[in-house]
């Protein structure tokens, strides 16, 4: 037989005593092969066993563990085991591993798949409701803090507000402009394709004007800002939470909501309407370019037609939603950031959650607004 | 002149050998011609004032930072320009406990300990889990700690879990970066004792960056002091006789005296 890295030699003395000698390198490298062999290892007949470890070349924790489990199994099989033959340099490790003892017996829990699913469903539902309740009370907290700041405006962190206006507003212009322009192009192209069948190409301007000003401009802006800035809020505040900066703020007698949340919320409530207006213009511009290119509608015609198609309420209906969406995005972003607990992983999970939740809420609120406006006949 | 000189090749078997190490960060020179030998089976404590480059030295030996000049031999191999496979093999023979444990926060303690086992060996999963359990217990953690996430552990438990991961592959050399920082004195003493016991039973060489004078007096065989961009190595007694002002202040200061009294 080929020489292995580690092996066991067994012999039986005349008095019936087994003599097992461990040889070679009992270490990590040998462990894979050894554990398979040792699992099947058994001695015929009873009798005492003396396990000789004094002629090993090397032993590490894994080797010591394997030898220790071997002796446990032999004992369980009714053999008396003598472990006295061991070199002193190995004895300390062997004893340390033996002290660890067998694994704790785990109570096998029985799971029923359908019950599990029911439990998970219930848990998710309760968690969702709880999240809604907590968000609502967080909104209350922000409102109270806002109220305090209106009474005492000198406490407002003006520099922080400006910083966040720059971060969430100015820096978002390129991406938002490009995307809105492209949406305008796509809408004009698709709309023209359908309207041409009725010979009503010019009405593509009405389509663009109403849909972009009422819905698409503000919705695109809110979704992009939720992805860009809502996530940033969660990550910033979450990292501060991990570094215990949030705790430091509280112990210094400062108000976390006043210092971290209100400037972000205020900044977003200022920038989002502006961004939405910018997105409206860029979307209409994209539509106008496309109309000119495929339908030969000149810019002059486009603007004249737009004047007839849209009225001020169309524009206002779009923009009035912006501060509300801004508050929701900032609130969810900050709330999830403050929920971060200790680990780097929770920053990641909660950032994802914050984006999903704020986009969800934005679209739900948009639907609520639609219903509301239809009641108001706007 | 220093009472002892470490530039001569060490008579004993050195597992870490640093020669002429130079470290620069921009214009700032941290190490200038530093020599160091760490002998097999010893516990070496590395001390020095803030900014003398203790942790930098640790990272250079581990290959995380490249020195500006000099040679670092780890277990007889020059760590610069080592082929990938040999570098990985060498890494399997060293274990590191970072200052804050550096446990992977998305995994349980047991999974953390199993990472090196899975990466470097082809043990059956059940055996790897058992080995992880043994290491966790040897690091002095209760049996139920294996299933916990790092965020559920106290500072002392995180260090022990980090130690269990560092020891997963039975390394030859164990690197410790301020192992007792942030622990209470009882926890720190217990951790010192744990390191000493594991060092004896596993035959480890320990390279320990520390500020803890109690650790230095109770478990270190030799102490390396980073002064004047170089290193002076010696036993506690030798350092006590050293007339260098920083070394004198360090070991003869009130805390140094208290630690020695506690020991004697």
**Contact yes or no for B135 and A61 at CB 8 A:** yes
From the CA of A6, how many Å to the nearest CA of chain B?
15
Whether B254 and B202 map to the same domain: the answer is yes
What CATH number does residue B62 fall under? 3.40.50.300
- Contact between residue B231 and residue B34 where contact means Cβ atoms under 8 Å apart: yes
pLDDT average, residue stretch B212-222:
86
Q: Which of B127, B143, B202 is opposite residue A35, by nearest beta carbon? A: B127
The HSE-up count of residue B213 (CA atoms within 13 Å, CB side) is 18
- Three state DSSP letters for B164-192: HHHCCCCCCEEEEECCCCCCCHHHHHHHH
Whether B155 and B51 map to the same domain: the answer is no
Residues in chain A within 8 Å Cβ distance of B130: 65, 103
Whether B135 and B259 map to the same domain: the answer is no
**Contact yes or no for B201 and A92 at CB 8 A:** yes
pLDDT tens digits for B154-180? 888 898 899 899 888 888 899 998 888
**Contact yes or no for A32 and B197 at CB 8 A:** no
B119 touches chain A (CB under 8 A): no
From the CA of B203, how many Å to the nearest CA of chain A?
8
Residue B7 within a domain: no
**Contact yes or no for A27 and B170 at CB 8 A:** yes
Whether B178 and B50 map to the same domain: the answer is yes
Residue A89: partners with Cβ closer than 8 Å, 6 or more residues away:
B203
State whether residue B154 is helix, strand or coil.
Answer: coil
pLDDT tens digits for B8-61? 444 457 888 888 889 888 888 888 888 888 888 889 999 888 888 888 888 888
**A94-97: long-range contacts (C-beta < 8 A, 24 or more apart)?**
A94/A53, A94/A59, A94/A64, A94/A67, A94/A68, A95/B201, A96/A64, A96/B138, A96/B197, A96/B198, A96/B201, A97/A61, A97/A64, A97/A65, A97/A68, A97/B134, A97/B138
Residues in chain A within 8 Å Cβ distance of B138: 61, 96-97, 100
B138 touches chain A (CB under 8 A): yes
B134 touches chain A (CB under 8 A): yes
Q: A11: part of which helix (H) or strand (E)? A: strand A6-12
- Return the closest-CA partner of residue A202 out of A305, A111, A299: A305
Task: Check residue A335 and give its pLDDT.
Answer: 95
From the CB of residue B226, how many other CB atoms can be counted at a distance below 10 Å?
24
Test the A interface: residue of B100, B105, B125 with most A CBs within 10 Å? B105
Q: Residue B80: which pLDDT band, with cuts at 50, 70 and 90?
A: confident
Residue B23 within a domain: yes
| pLDDT > 70 in chain A, percent | 98
Query: In Å, how far from its chain's centre is CA A6?
Result: 47
From the CA of A93, how many Å to the nearest CA of chain B?
4
Domain boundaries, chain A: 6-100, 138-375
Test the A interface: residue of B106, B170, B172 with most A CBs within 10 Å? B170
Eight-class DSSP state of A196: G
- Return the closest-CA partner of residue A262 out of A359, A128, A139, A169: A139
- Contact between residue A374 and residue A269 where contact means Cβ atoms under 8 Å apart: no
Whether B84 and B181 map to the same domain: the answer is yes
pLDDT tens digits for B178-190? 888 888 888 888 8
| pLDDT > 90 in chain A, percent | 52
Task: Check residue A100 and give its pLDDT.
Answer: 80
Test the B interface: residue of A40, A62, A68 with most B CBs within 10 Å? A62
Given the structure tokens 């979704």, which residue do they identify? A223
Test the A interface: residue of B41, B108, B127 with most A CBs within 10 Å? B127
- A18-26 vs A6-12, strand pairing mode: antiparallel
**Contact yes or no for A343 and B134 at CB 8 A:** no
Residue B38 within a domain: yes
From the CA of A107, how many Å to the nearest CA of chain B?
13
User: Domain ends where: B149, B167, B185?
Assistant: B167
**Count of domains forming chain B:** 2
Residue B250 within a domain: yes
List the domain range (segments joined by +) for residue B105: 101-167
Task: Check residue B11 and give its pLDDT.
Answer: 45
Test the B interface: residue of A100, A344, A349 with most B CBs within 10 Å? A100
User: Domain ends where: B150, B167, B184?
Assistant: B167
- Contact between residue B135 and residue B198 where contact means Cβ atoms under 8 Å apart: no
pLDDT tens digits for A173-190? 999 999 999 999 999 999
Task: Check residue A106 and give its pLDDT.
Answer: 67
A345 touches chain B (CB under 8 A): yes
A72 touches chain B (CB under 8 A): no
B243 touches chain A (CB under 8 A): no
Residues in chain B within 8 Å Cβ distance of A93: 201-203
- Contact between residue B235 and residue B44 where contact means Cβ atoms under 8 Å apart: no
Residue B41 within a domain: yes
The domain defined by A6-100 folds into Transcription Regulator spoIIAA (3.30.750)
Whether B35 and B146 map to the same domain: the answer is no
CA atoms of A20 and A1, how far apart (whole Å): 18
pLDDT tens digits for A328-346? 999 999 999 999 987 778 8
State whether residue A375 is helix, strand or coil.
Answer: helix
Whether B245 and B182 map to the same domain: the answer is yes
Residues in chain B within 8 Å Cβ distance of A99: 137
Res B1 pLDDT > 70: no
**Contact yes or no for B202 and A60 at CB 8 A:** yes
Whether B180 and B221 map to the same domain: the answer is yes
- Return the closest-CA partner of residue B176 out of B80, B86, B44: B44
Whether B205 and B151 map to the same domain: the answer is no
State whether residue B50 is helix, strand or coil.
Answer: coil
Residue A158: partners with Cβ closer than 8 Å, 6 or more residues away:
none
User: Domain ends where: B111, B137, B167?
Assistant: B167
Whether B36 and B81 map to the same domain: the answer is yes
Whether B150 and B188 map to the same domain: the answer is no
pLDDT average, residue stretch A316-321:
91
User: Residue B152 pairs with which residues in a beta bridge?
Assistant: none
Residues in chain A within 8 Å Cβ distance of B121: 28-29, 31-32
User: Residue A59 pairs with which residues in a beta bridge?
Assistant: A26
**Contact yes or no for A97 and B131 at CB 8 A:** no
Res A250 pLDDT > 70: yes
Residue A161: partners with Cβ closer than 8 Å, 6 or more residues away:
A263, A266, A267, A270
**Contact yes or no for A104 and B197 at CB 8 A:** no
Res A63 pLDDT > 80: yes
Task: Check residue B263 and give its pLDDT.
Answer: 65
């Amino acid at each position: 037989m080929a020489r292995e890295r580690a092996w066991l030699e067994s012999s039986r003395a005349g008095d019936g005593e087994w003599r097992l000698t461990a040889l070679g390198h009992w270490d990590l490298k040998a462990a894979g092969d050894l554990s398979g062999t040792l699992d099947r290892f058994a001695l015929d007949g009873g009798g005492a066993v003396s396990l000789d470890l004094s002629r090993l070349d090397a032993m590490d924790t894994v080797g010591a563990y394997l030898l220790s489990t071997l002796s446990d199994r032999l004992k369980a099989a009714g053999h008396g085991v003598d472990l006295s033959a061991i070199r002193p340099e190995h004895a300390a490790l062997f004893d340390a591993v033996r002290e660890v003892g067998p694994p704790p017996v785990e109570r096998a829990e029985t799971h029923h798949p359908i019950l599990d699913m029911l439990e998970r469903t219930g848990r998710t539902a309760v968690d969702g409701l709880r999240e809604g309740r907590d968000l609502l009370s967080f909104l209350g907290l922000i409102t109270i803090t806002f109220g305090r700041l209106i009474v005492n405006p000198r406490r407002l962190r003006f520099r922080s507000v400006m910083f966040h206006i720059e971060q969430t507003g100015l820096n978002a212009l390129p991406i938002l402009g490009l995307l809105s322009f492209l949406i305008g192009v796509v809408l004009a192209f698709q709309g023209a394709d359908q309207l041409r069948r009725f010979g009503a190409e010019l009405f593509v301007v009405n389509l663009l004007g109403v849909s972009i000003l009422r819905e698409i401009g503000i919705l695109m802006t809110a979704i992009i800002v939720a992805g860009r800035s809502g996530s940033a809020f969660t990550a910033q505040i979450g990292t501060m939470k991990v570094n215990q900066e949030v705790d430091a703020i509280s112990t210094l007698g400062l108000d976390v909501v006043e210092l971290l949340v209100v400037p972000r919320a205020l900044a977003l409530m200022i920038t989002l309407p502006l961004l939405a207006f910018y997105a409206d213009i860029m979307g209409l511009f994209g539509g106008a370019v496309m109309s000119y290119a495929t339908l030969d509608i000149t810019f002059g015609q486009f603007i004249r037609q737009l004047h007839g198609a849209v009225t001020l309420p169309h524009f206002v209906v779009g923009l009035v939603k912006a501060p509300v969406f801004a508050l929701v995005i900032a609130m969810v972003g900050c709330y999830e950031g403050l929920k971060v607990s200790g680990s780097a992983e929770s920053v990641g999970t909660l950032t994802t959650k914050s984006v999903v939740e704020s986009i969800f809420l934005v679209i739900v609120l948009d639907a609520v607004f639609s219903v509301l406006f239809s009641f108001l006949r706007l | 002149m220093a009472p002892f000189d470490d530039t001569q090749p060490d008579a004993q078997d050195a597992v870490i050998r640093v020669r002429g190490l130079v470290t620069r960060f921009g214009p700032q020179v941290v190490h200038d011609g530093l020599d160091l030998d760490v002998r097999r089976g010893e516990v070496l404590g590395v001390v020095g004032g803030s900014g003398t480059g203790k942790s930098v030295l640790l990272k250079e030996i581990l290959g995380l930072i490249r020195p500006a000049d000099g040679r670092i031999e780890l277990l007889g191999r020059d760590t610069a320009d080592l082929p990938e496979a040999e570098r990985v093999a060498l890494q399997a023979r060293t274990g590191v406990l970072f200052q804050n444990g550096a446990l992977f926060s998305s995994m349980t303690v047991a999974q953390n300990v199993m990472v090196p086992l899975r990466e470097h060996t082809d043990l059956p999963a059940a055996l790897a889990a058992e080995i992880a359990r043994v290491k966790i217990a040897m690091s002095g953690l209760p049996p139920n700690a294996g299933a916990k996430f790092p965020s559920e552990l106290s500072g002392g438990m995180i260090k022990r879990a980090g130690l269990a991961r560092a020891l997963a592959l039975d390394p030859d050399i164990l690197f410790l970066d301020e192992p007792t920082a942030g622990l209470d004195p009882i926890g720190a003493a217990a951790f010192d004792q744990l390191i000493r016991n594991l060092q004896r039973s596993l035959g480890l060489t320990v390279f320990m960056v520390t500020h803890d004078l109690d650790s230095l007096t109770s478990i270190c065989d030799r102490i390396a002091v980073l002064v004047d961009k170089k290193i002076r190595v010696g036993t506690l007694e030798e350092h006590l006789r050293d007339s260098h002002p920083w070394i004198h202040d360090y070991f003869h200061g009130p805390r140094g005296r208290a630690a020695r009294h506690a020991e004697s």
